[in-house]
Amino acid sequence: MLAVASSRQVLSKPVPSHFTASHGLPFWLTVCALLLQPCTKTTEPSASPPECAPTAMDPSRSYVRLDHRREPIACEASRPCTPIRPSVCRSHGECSEGDNGRCSYNGDACTYDECFGDEDCQQNALCDCAGGPDANHRCLPVECRTDQDCTSGMWCSPSPQLECPQPVVGYFCHTATDECVVDGDCRPAEYCAFNPSSRAWACATQLCER
């Protein structure tokens, strides 16, 4: 009875106008309906999200070759003098039969710069700057000289042999069927090289001793 009397006292008090009955409902039903309504929060519509920033590349895969040949390269006209262990030749000055003659480190031979630009080599070769056995410029037989020699926007890149990761043995175009583009596309013990049999780049395992 006390509870009923208390509730009656509350209901008998004046109430604000916005708590009056609506749609013919008794006042106490209106109050209950208001109390049972879930809380809602009005928010301003969010502004359109900014353009997505480029996502980071997968660290396990490299997507760009930095050594592909975009255009012909002019090699340095000079050549550094390296230490010598005298044998066949005792000084760089003894190597005078070609351009920038140098006595090799072991002193067993003279080496010379074979070229300074692709035009110094035959049509199916390019000038490989400091790519020789004694860091001399050499004419390297290749299947492409620059990216322009490849189809469908593919790159012209240097490749070692399948059996050994060094040295570079030629430049070859990438293809749509390549298994890899760079060494990072292969397993840790492998490297990316051109396979003459499949005419595509593939992951290779070192078989040579270094």
What HEC string does the chain produce? CHHHHHHHHHHHCCCCHHHCCCCCCCHHHHHHHHHHCCCCCCCCCCCCCCCCCCCCCCCCCCCCCCCCCCCCCCCCCCCCCCCCCCCCCCCHHHCCCCCCCEECCCCCCEECCCCCCHHHCCCCEEEECCCCCCCCCEEEECCCCCHHHCCCCCCEEEEECCCCCCCEEEEEECCCCCCCCCHHHCCCCEEEEEECCCCEEEEEECCCCC
Q: Are residues 101 and 161 in the same domain?
A: no
Share of the chain above pLDDT 90, in %: 41
Q: Tell me whether residue 48 is in a domain.
A: no
- Please state, rounded to an integer, the average pLDDT across all residues of the chain: 75
Q: What domain range is 93 assigned to? A: 72-141
User: In this structure, is residue 8 part of a structural domain?
Assistant: no
Q: Are residues 170 and 134 in the same domain?
A: no
Both 90 and 137 in a single domain?
A: yes
Does 147 lie in the same domain as 137?
no
> How many structural domains does the chain have?
2
125 belongs to a structural domain: yes
> Residue 105: pLDDT band by 50, 70, 90 thresholds?
confident
What is the rounded distance in angstroms from the CA atom of residue 105 to the CA atom of residue 81? 10
Looking at 91, 123, 141, the residue that finishes a domain is: 141
Tell me if 12 is assigned to some domain: no
pLDDT tens for residues 157-181?
A: 999 999 899 889 999 999 999 999 9
208 — pLDDT class (breaks 50, 70, 90): confident
Question: Is 115 in contact with 75 (CB distance < 8 Å)?
Answer: yes
Please check whether residue 156 is in contact with residue 171, taking contact to mean a CB–CB distance below 8 angstroms: yes
| pLDDT of 103 over the 50 cut | yes
Domain boundary among 114, 141, 168: 141
Residues 160 and 209 in one domain: yes
Q: Is the pLDDT of residue 148 over 90?
A: yes
The residue ranking higher by pLDDT, 106 or 86, is: 106
Task: Show which of 89, 117, 141 is a domain's final residue.
Answer: 141
C-alpha span between 52 and 137 (Å, rounded): 46
Does some domain include residue 9? no
137 in the same domain as 159: no
84 & 129 share domain: yes
Q: Is residue 208 part of a domain?
A: yes
Which of 142, 160, 163, 178 has its CA nearest to residue 69? Answer: 142
Q: Is 200 part of a structural domain of the chain?
A: yes
Split at pLDDT 50, 70, 90, the class of 86 is low
Whether residues 155 and 137 fall in one domain: no
**Rounded to an integer, what distance in angstroms lies between the CA atom of residue 15 and that of residue 157?**
86
Q: Domain check: are 177 and 193 in the same one? A: yes
Going by C-beta distance under 8 Å and a sequence separation of 6 or more, which residues neighbour residue 49?
A: none
pLDDT on residue 92: 85
β pairing state of 125-128 and 168-173: unpaired
Query: Does some domain include residue 35?
Result: no
Judge if 84 and 118 occupy the same domain.
yes
User: Are residues 169 and 187 part of one domain?
Assistant: yes
